Structure 1
């Protein structure tokens, strides 16, 4: 019997893999919590831009309501990948009206995702700035899974 599990990646390789996934993936699971501590988990499309995830959703959605209720302490957890290639991001969240987002970012968002929230009524952007990031594939990578802490990469 042969071992079918890949060798553990170095932290540097995991960082490169995470950045590639952030550039190329389109969707992520975004989790927020309301004031009663009820979790909300939804799939949302994103653009990786200037070191943050840029998302758009309706202002009336629970995700936005939860973040507004949290105010300046608004946070979200983002999950990319599947159970054998996980990226978890704990992020500080900011809500932006469409006019607050720089045009180049809004244009890049529209180009990547194929639709433009600026053309819709009642939509906002969410900027999720990573503060902590974990990435691992198998048990062999659990020990070194933290790649970012306090918004700073731990690897080069």
Structure 2
């Protein structure tokens, strides 16, 4: 039988969440259409200037959903070390992303959709971040609220 690791304090959880945001490459993005149909897809990302930046084809359901209603959730990590991010997302034309952000995206992920008309960037502004490993961390899982780090 596996032993539950001791609960991390809030500072350690924040450091671990930031490490995951910096080093992970893929996340699950949930959105909903205007009629409420849910949509869940994996997308690659870069964490830059306290924003998640992803790219997708501009006519994909995720891009359409987020253009209509920017509210969404993003999930990182496995189920026993999860980071959940409630966000507001905006779509940015492929030629309108700031140069430093585009460069960070291309360097981390090894491809560059800037200037490709069929693509858009999705820029996620975190409003709430939750992180936990096991049940012993549920009570203190909220690291960010209303876009402000609590730790």
Same fold (TM over 0.5): yes
Structure 2 match to 1:87: 83
The alpha carbon displacement at 1:78 in A equals 0.1
Secondary structure, aligned partner of 1:117: coil
Secondary structure, aligned partner of 1:54: strand
The alpha carbon displacement at 1:112 in A equals 0.6
Q: Give TM-score scaled by structure 2 length.
A: 0.96
The alpha carbon displacement at 1:96 in A equals 0.5
Q: Deviations over 1:19-42 (max 9, x none)?
A: 000000000000000011111000
Whose helix proportion is higher, 1 or 2? Answer: 1
The alpha carbon displacement at 1:76 in A equals 1.3
Structure 2 match to 1:33: 32
Task: State the superposition RMSD in angstroms.
Answer: 1.2
Could you tell me whether the CA contact under 8 Å between 2:132 and 2:141 is conserved in 1? yes
Q: Which is further off, 92-101 or 51-60?
A: 92-101
Could you tell me whether the CA contact under 8 Å between 2:28 and 2:74 is conserved in 1? yes
Give me the whole-angstrom Cα distance separating, in 2, the residues matched to 1:141 and 1:101: 37
Q: Which is further off, 84-93 or 99-108?
A: 99-108
Give me the whole-angstrom Cα distance separating, in 1, the residues matched to 2:68 and 2:104: 29
In the alignment, structure 1 residue 24 sits paired with structure 2 residue 20:
no
Q: Deviations over 1:33-79 (max 9, x none)?
A: 00111110000000000001000000010001111222xxx111000
Structure 2 unmatched runs, 5+: none
Give me the whole-angstrom Cα distance separating, in 2, the residues matched to 1:69 and 1:128: 14
Q: How many residues align?
A: 151
Give me the whole-angstrom Cα distance separating, in 1, the residues matched to 2:68 and 2:100: 29
Q: Deviations over 1:63-122 (max 9, x none)?
A: 01111222xxx1110000111001100001111112221111101101110110015330
Structure 1 unmatched runs, 5+: none
Structure 2 match to 1:151: 147
Q: Which is further off, 103-112 or 7-16?
A: 103-112
